[in-house]
């Protein structure tokens, strides 16, 4: 058995089990070994039967004196009853609806039982059991009579299965190569890899388990930081095409805008333009709240790139957003006569002229397109952009090194294009370094002046009808409305049930006269785009949706954002929803509904009424709900953290320092490098 041995080759893993393990991302022995328990059940106390106390969680070690099934007709259940004896006495044990137990457990078998003694002190109900056999000696138990690891399991994979498979892997722990530098292990008194693995899965006591956990928490963040820093180093050492700043052109362009740039916009544009001028690669994240005016900043960068005769790509996560950018850029660059292409799965045009796929690709590949705007269709292999100097990606924070390299190959000078990512997701300061140590940041902090604030109100049930009346009025005067529903039933993964219910209620009872659309996660992305398109075309006035509603989508005619079950969302996410309205000339509103009346929840939601600063809201989320809830962490492109926490700022600081020191010393071992390579600082376009 080796780390890369497929899990299906382990004993007792058939096709079904392998498929179920796959749902837990366990495909190889390594995946299994690094699948850590999230807690332990303490059954380490093994007592004589005579000493058992009512209600205690305990283990016993004895022999089965009697075991039999009985049918309980009244309750229509099967009851397995057994008597277990040790030197001190006899205990009655029952299990329900496990008739097959009598096949595994026979009179005379030596077993351990772990569980809770009932209130009489004379019986155990449904304890865990483990038979002592030739292979499983006392003291070597994995399910009983110890600190028992508890794993996140999934439909059909049991705790026992996971523990059993892990017990098969224990013998190889000693042969695994340590990848953490020995100075770090020494400095922090961490257990070595093999000891840590043994003690995170099958610890002899709490202290050992805790030490192991600390090691793996450190290690997880450490590997991520190293990966980020290495990627930064690689980029820092890469040459980029220097793009000359064309001052007069830029000034004229700005002068012709119908508004004055804000100070933040000027600062960010300047940071980007300066980066572009250097013969070094730009790798920058432009962050700014919804409506803060990122587009112009990007346009100024594009202007300089294109006017220098270079090409650029602007990539959006969906077709609608790509088309939106295409329209905006065509308007902005009307005078410059840049040749602008739209390329998505379904749409191909250049400067408004529809073309076939072959035609558009040939235009691009022959250098007859200056700016290529699209979905990830633009980075497919058949697209070869010569003199590509800049790639801008919307709402995708990190662009994998691989994607960058693949773009590099297409540039005939062998250079990687500069990279600019833009996002409306406010990332709290404390997380920025952890997530984006490899990117330089430009932040638009303040919205352009004279923005109408979106009137936000936490609405009580008593005023629900008033809210509906108001919505009806708005629709009558031609406006449109979003209604967002949370996922209520956890089995309802795509939120279909909840949103359907709300849809039917609104459609049939509340607003029978109004046309209503429906959007949820079960729709394919193409279907989602169709619904959005219809809403844009005003084919319906109300759109009922789960949280799948896209970031960045512009429906200027929508003026009301109504959110049901608002307490189930983070503040930053609510703020993102709110940003879907207030994009046109009309006064807009956001109504929050919540049936959670706890003081804390009400206070949290009330905060949204007075605060329209996405960064502040994200900080608040981080403080109240932890990093998993901070909107955008999931888009960060980082691998999911298994046991470490991004809120542990102290640990993060330590880890960052150690990672930096190690990289400066240039002493990264091959085994550590291999481990880092397994992480994918990925780009997940859907």
Quick check: 514 binds ligand ADP (CB under 6 A)? no
Which one of 62, 288, 426, 570 is in contact with ligand ADP (CB under 6 A)?
288
Closest to ligand ADP by CB, 260 or 402: 260
Do 379 and 406 touch, CB atoms closer than 8 A?
yes
Q: Is 556 in the site for ligand ADP (CB under 6 A)?
A: no
Residue 295 binding ligand ADP, by CB under 6 A: yes
CA distance 446 to 572: 16
| Closer of 449 and 490 to ligand ADP (Cβ) | 449
Nearest C-alpha neighbor of 223 from the set 276, 185, 287, 179: 179
Hunting for tokens 């700016």 — which residue is that?
A: 371
CA–CA dist 72, 83 (Å, integer): 18
Count of residues in the chain: 686
Q: Check binding of 293 to ligand ADP (CB under 6 A).
A: yes
Phi-psi region of 626 (alpha: psi -120 to 50; beta: other; left: phi over 0): left
- How far is the C-alpha of 588 from the C-alpha of 80, rounded, in Å? 65
Does position 259 interact with ligand ADP (CB under 6 A)? The reply is yes
Stretch that binds ligand ADP, among 155-163, 283-291, 520-528, 562-570 (CB under 6 A): 283-291
Contacts of 569 (CB under 8 A, 6+ apart): 486, 547, 563, 577
- Residue 479 corresponds to which tokens in the numbers above? 């406006």
124 lies in the site for ligand ADP, by CB under 6 A = no
* Helices marked H in 256-293: 263-277
CA–CA gap between residue 226 and residue 445 (Å, rounded) = 29
Pick out residues in 598-637 that bind ligand ADP (CB under 6 A).
Answer: none
**Looking at beta carbons only, is 284 or 294 nearer to ligand ADP?**
294
Kindly indicate which of the ranges 43-51, 260-268, 270-278, 371-379 contains the residues binding ligand ADP, using the contact rule CB under 6 A. 260-268
CB of 448 to ligand ADP, least distance (A): 3
Residue in 422, 418, 438, 390 with CA at minimum distance from that of residue 238: 418
**681 phi/psi in degrees, rounded to 5:** -80, 90
Q: Which residues, 6+ apart, have CB-to-CB distance to 258 below 8 Å?
A: none
172 contacts ligand ADP (rule: CB under 6 A):
no
CB–CB of 326/369 below 8 Å? no
Shortest Cβ distance from residue 390 to ligand ADP (Å)?
17
Separation of CA 411 from chain center: 33
What character string, x for contact with ligand ADP (CB under 6 A) and - otherwise, covers 560-579? Answer: --------------------
Q: Does 437 bind ligand ADP (CB under 6 A)?
A: no
**Should residue 417 be labelled a site residue for ligand ADP when binding is judged by CB under 6 A?**
no
Q: How far is the CB of 418 from ligand ADP (least distance, A)?
A: 20
Q: How far is the CB of 287 from ligand ADP (least distance, A)?
A: 10
Of 17 and 262, nearer to ligand ADP (C-beta) is: 262
Q: Cβ contacts of residue 640 below 8 Å, gap of 6+?
A: none
Nearer to ligand ADP, 49 or 447 (CB): 447
Residue numbers 438-497 binding ligand ADP by CB under 6 A: 448
3-class state of residue 521 by DSSP = coil
Burial status of residue 85 (CB atoms within 10 A of its CB: 0-12, 13-18, 19 or more): middle
DSSP 265: H
**Residue 366 binds ligand ADP (CB under 6 A):** no
- Which lies closer to ligand ADP via its Cβ, residue 96 or residue 259? 259
Nearer to ligand ADP, 260 or 538 (CB): 260
Q: Does 262 bind ligand ADP (CB under 6 A)?
A: yes
Query: Would you count residue 659 as binding ligand ADP (CB under 6 A)?
Result: no
Sheet with 480-484, side-by-side order of all strands:
455-458, 589-592, 558-563, 480-484, 542-545, 516-519
- For residue 296, the minimal CB distance to ligand ADP (Å) is 5
Query: Interacting stretch for ligand ADP, rule CB under 6 A, among 194-202, 288-296, 492-500, 611-619?
Result: 288-296
> Which residue number, 448 or 626, has a Cβ lying nearer to ligand ADP?
448
Integer CA distances (angstroms), 584 to 198, 380, 578, 588, 653, in order: 60, 35, 13, 9, 43
Write down the least CB distance from residue 631 to ligand ADP, Å.
Answer: 15
Using rule CB under 6 A, residue 261 touches ligand ADP: yes
Is residue 582 close enough to count as binding ligand ADP by CB under 6 A? no
- Site size toward ligand ADP (CB under 6 A) is 15
Q: Give the angle 333-336-341 at the CA atoms, nearest 5°.
A: 60
> Which residue from 17, 44, 265, 269 is in contact with ligand ADP, where contact means CB under 6 A?
265
End-to-end CA distance of the chain: 35
- In the complex, what is the shortest distance from the CB of residue 250 to ligand ADP, in angstroms, rounded to a whole number? 15
**Using the rule CB under 6 A, is 292 a contact of ligand ADP?**
yes
Residue 294 engages ligand ADP in binding (rule: CB under 6 A): yes
Residues of this chain that interact with ligand ADP (CB under 6 A) are: 259-262, 265, 288, 290-296, 424, 448
């Amino acid at each position: 058995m080796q780390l890369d041995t497929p899990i299906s080759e382990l004993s007792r893993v058939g096709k079904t089990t392998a498929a179920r393990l796959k749902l837990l991302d366990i495909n190889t022995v390594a995946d299994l070994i690094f699948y850590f328990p999230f807690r332990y059940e303490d059954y380490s106390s093994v007592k004589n039967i005579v000493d058992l106390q009512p209600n205690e969680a305990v283990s016993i070690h004895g022999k089965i004196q009697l075991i039999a099934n009985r049918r309980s007709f009244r309750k229509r259940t099967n009851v397995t009853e057994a008597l277990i004896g040790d030197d001190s006495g006899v205990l009655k044990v029952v299990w329900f609806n496990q008739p097959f137990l009598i096949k595994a457990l026979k009179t005379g078998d030596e077993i351990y039982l772990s569980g809770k003694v009932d209130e009489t002190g004379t019986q155990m109900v449904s304890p865990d059991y483990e038979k002592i056999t030739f292979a499983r000696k006392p003291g070597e138990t994995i399910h009983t009579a110890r600190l028992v690891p508890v794993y996140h399991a999934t439909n059909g994979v049991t705790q026992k299965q996971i523990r059993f498979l892990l017990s098969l892997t224990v013998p190889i722990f000693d042969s695994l190569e340590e990848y953490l530098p020995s100075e770090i292990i020494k400095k922090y008194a961490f257990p070595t890899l093999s000891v840590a693995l043994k003690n995170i899965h099958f610890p002899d006591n709490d202290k050992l388990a805790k030490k192991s956990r600390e090691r793996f928490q450190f290690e997880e963040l450490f590997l991520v930081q190293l990966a980020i820093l290495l990627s930064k180093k690689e980029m820092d050492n890469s040459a980029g095409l220097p793009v000359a700043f064309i001052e007069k052109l830029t000034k004229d362009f700005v002068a012709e805008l119908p508004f004055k740039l804000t100070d933040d916009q000027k600062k960010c544009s300047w940071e980007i333009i300066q980066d572009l001028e250097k013969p070094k690669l730009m790798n920058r994240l432009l962050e700014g709240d919804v409506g803060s005016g990122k587009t112009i900043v990007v346009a100024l960068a594009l202007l300089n790139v294109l006017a220098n005769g270079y090409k650029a790509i602007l990539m959006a996560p969906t077709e609608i957003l790509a088309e939106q950018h295409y329209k905006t850029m065509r308007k902005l660059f009307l005078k410059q006569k840049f040749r602008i292409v739209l390329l998505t799965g379904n749409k191909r045009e250049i400067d408004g002229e529809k073309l076939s796929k072959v035609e558009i690709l040939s235009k691009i590949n022959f250098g007859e397109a200056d700016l290529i705007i699209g979905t990830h269709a633009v980075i497919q292999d058949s697209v070869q952009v010569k003199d590509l100097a800049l790639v801008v990606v919307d709402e995708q924070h990190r662009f994998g090194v691989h994607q960058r390299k693949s773009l590099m190959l297409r540039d005939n000078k062998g250079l990687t294009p500069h990279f600019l990512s833009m996002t409306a997701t406010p990332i709290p300061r404390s997380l920025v370094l952890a997530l984006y140590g490899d990117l330089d940041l430009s932040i638009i902090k303040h919205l352009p002046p004279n923005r109408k604030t979106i009137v936000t109100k936490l609405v009580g049930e008593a005023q629900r009808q008033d809210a509906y009346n108001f919505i009806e009025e708005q629709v009558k005067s031609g406006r449109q409305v979003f209604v967002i529903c949370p996922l209520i039933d956890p089995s309802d993964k795509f939120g279909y049930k909840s949103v359907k219910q709300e849809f039917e209620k609104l459609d049939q009872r509340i607003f029978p006269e109004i046309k209503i659309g429906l959007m949820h996660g079960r729709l394919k992305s193409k279907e989602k785009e169709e619904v959005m398109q219809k809403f844009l075309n005003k084919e319906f006035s109300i759109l009922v949706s789960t949280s799948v509603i896209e970031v960045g989508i512009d429906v200027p005619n929508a003026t009301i954002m109504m959110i049901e079950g608002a307490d189930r969302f983070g503040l930053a996410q609510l703020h993102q929803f709110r940003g879907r309205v207030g994009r046109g000339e009309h006064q807009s509103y956001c109504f929050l509904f919540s049936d959670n009346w706890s003081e804390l929840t009400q206070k949290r939601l009330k905060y949204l009424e007075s605060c329209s600063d996405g960064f502040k809201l994200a900080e608040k989320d981080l403080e109240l709900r932890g990093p998993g809830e901070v909107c955008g962490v999931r888009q960060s492109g980082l691998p999911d953290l298994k046991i470490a926490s991004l809120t542990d700022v102290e640990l993060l600081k330590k880890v960052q320092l150690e990672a930096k020191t190690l990289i400066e010393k240039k002493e990264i071992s091959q085994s550590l490098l291999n481990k880092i390579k397994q992480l994918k600082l990925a780009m997940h376009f859907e």
